[in-house]
Structure 1
């Protein structure tokens, strides 16, 4: 039983690690997306001017 519990705990560690990695990954994507959007906005404004 103890072995099973340890393996579940290890699994949870792996899942939490994956989730925190995914969140960091999404954060980077959001940053890149926002920068691209700002750049696009800047292009449009420059074009209008």
Structure 2
């Protein structure tokens, strides 16, 4: 980051501070894909919003 040297923040410290944010977003993304993607896709197919492959 361009601001890191100005506020005396090392690269390692930046990575360490971003780690919780990265872990939380990864878990939320995984849960959304696992529990909402398949049901919503099925619902959209039944509603006629998605075409099925023949």
Q: What's the TM-score, normalizing by structure 1?
A: 0.47
Normalized per residue, the structure richer in helix is: 1
Calculate the TM-score normalised by the size of structure 2.
Answer: 0.44
